[in-house]
């Protein structure tokens, strides 16, 4: 017999389902397209998700997708443009033609000395109307940078102390950095990251450019006897972007939660890289690796070689309709403080 007790229980179940449905409908889930696996390079995205969840009581979830599960790394900007996912990380050098304004941050020998400066300069560029317009073509809103350490060289053999010492040296240096090293007489060679250890050990190349964490990961420090501590020739620019439509569709409190999560996410990222450096310096000491510090005069000489590369970039991007000289001047002024 169906009693009042049963009816009450049934009603409770129905109400529970209704509330559950309403709760589910109110939740927002965003997917983030990343590649590889969780590492220092993605820690700010992980922290962002944690902060957003905490600020919204778990109602706004940001889900990580590694290993190119959603998209190939070089196609993440395309995925954002069509709304295949709401957030993604990519590097400007993957497709310079799609994000020419960001490549100002990948020019060689800009003089960036630390990650804090890299963050400040990136934010300034992101706030520029021309850069925002450039990325808006892909329905992308720049959310935060992924500041990468300078790609200094670890090498084997005679220790370079002047610009002339790089003349004829075969080095693993890609993109704009490769052009810069070619300008000082080096011979840039395309070697994959995984092949670099063997290339240095066998003498195929004398030196390779990586950020410190990559020198550790790919074990170049195990075959190198010198490292350019302050050359700071350049790095890559890898922003985190969100789909503009998805961002605009967020409830006000969720959007505020996302925006306010950026600073703690970046602080966590920088703290993570501090730990990398805590391992890096002792490793150099333990292995007796010479830490090459170039004089101001030699650094200036390196910088002069970058001049024609900057000029060429300005000419090319101006022809595309970008305020290229203005962007470069802004970046240089920001770096100088």
pLDDT of residue 36: 86
User: Could you tell me if 7 and 225 are in contact, meaning their C-beta atoms sit under 8 angstroms apart?
Assistant: no
Helix and strand totals (H; E) in the chain: 12, 11
Which among 204, 170, 207, 166 has a CA at the least distance from the CA of 187?
Answer: 170
| Residue 2 placed within a domain | no
Number of domains the chain is built from: 1
Q: Which residues contact 200 (CB under 8 A, 6 or more apart)?
A: 154, 155, 156, 172, 206, 207, 208, 220, 223, 224
C-alpha span between 280 and 112 (Å, rounded): 19
Q: Which residue range forms the structural domain that includes residue 326?
A: 26-337
pTM: 0.83
| Residue 111 placed within a domain | yes
pLDDT by position in tens, the chain (length 337)? 434 444 444 444 444 444 443 444 449 999 999 988 888 899 999 999 999 999 999 999 999 999 999 999 989 999 999 999 999 999 998 899 999 999 999 999 898 989 999 999 999 999 999 999 999 999 999 999 999 999 999 999 999 999 999 999 999 987 778 888 999 999 999 888 889 999 999 999 999 999 898 899 889 999 999 999 999 888 889 999 999 999 999 999 999 999 999 999 999 999 999 998 899 999 999 999 999 999 999 999 888 888 899 999 999 999 999 999 999 999 999 998 8
Q: Which residues contact 178 (CB under 8 A, 6 or more apart)?
A: 188
| Residue 264 placed within a domain | yes
| Residue 21 placed within a domain | no
For the domain that residue 171 is a member of, what is the CATH number? 3.40.190.170
| Residue 153 placed within a domain | yes
| Residue 9 placed within a domain | no
| Residue 272 placed within a domain | yes
pLDDT of residue 194: 83
pLDDT of residue 98: 96
User: Could you tell me if 152 and 232 are in contact, meaning their C-beta atoms sit under 8 angstroms apart?
Assistant: yes
């Amino acid at each position: 017999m169906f009693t009042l007790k049963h009816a009450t229980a049934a009603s409770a179940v129905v109400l529970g389902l209704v509330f559950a449905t309403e709760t589910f409908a109110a939740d927002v889930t965003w997917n983030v397209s990343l590649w590889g696996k969780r590492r220092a390079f993605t820690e700010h995205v992980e922290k962002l998700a944690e902060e957003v969840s905490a600020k919204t009581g778990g109602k706004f979830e940001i889900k990580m997708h590694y290993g190119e599960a959603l998209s190939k790394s070089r196609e993440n900007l395309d995925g954002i443009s069509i709304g295949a996912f709401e957030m993604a990380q990519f590097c400007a050098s993957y497709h310079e033609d799609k994000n020419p304004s960001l490549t100002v941050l990948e020019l060689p020998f800009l003089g960036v000395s630390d990650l804090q400066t890299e963050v400040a300069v990136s934010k300034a560029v992101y706030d520029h109307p021309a850069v925002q317009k450039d990325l808006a073509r892909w329905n992308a809103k720049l959310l935060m940078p992924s500041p990468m350490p300078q790609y200094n060289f670890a090498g084997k053999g005679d220790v370079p102390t002047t610009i002339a010492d790089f003349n004829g040296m075969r080095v693993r240096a890609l993109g704009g950095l490769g052009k810069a090293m070619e300008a000082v007489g080096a011979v840039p060679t395309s070697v994959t990251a995984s092949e670099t250890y063997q290339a240095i050990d066998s003498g195929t190349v004398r030196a390779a450019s990586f950020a410190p964490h990559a020198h550790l990961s790919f074990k170049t420090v195990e075959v190198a006897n010198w490292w350019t501590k302050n050359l700071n020739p350049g790095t890559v620019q890898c922003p985190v972007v969100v789909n503009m439509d998805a961002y605009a569709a967020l409830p006000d409190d969720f959007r505020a939660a996302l925006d306010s999560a950026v600073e703690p996410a970046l602080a966590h990222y920088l703290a993570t890289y501090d730990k990398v450096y805590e391992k890096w310096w002792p490793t150099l000491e333990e292995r007796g690796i010479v830490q090459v510090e170039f004089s101001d005069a030699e650094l200036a000489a390196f910088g002069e070689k970058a001049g024609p590369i900057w000029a060429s970039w300005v000419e090319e991007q101006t022809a595309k309709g970008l305020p290229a000289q203005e962007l470069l001047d802004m970046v240089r002024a920001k770096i100088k403080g």
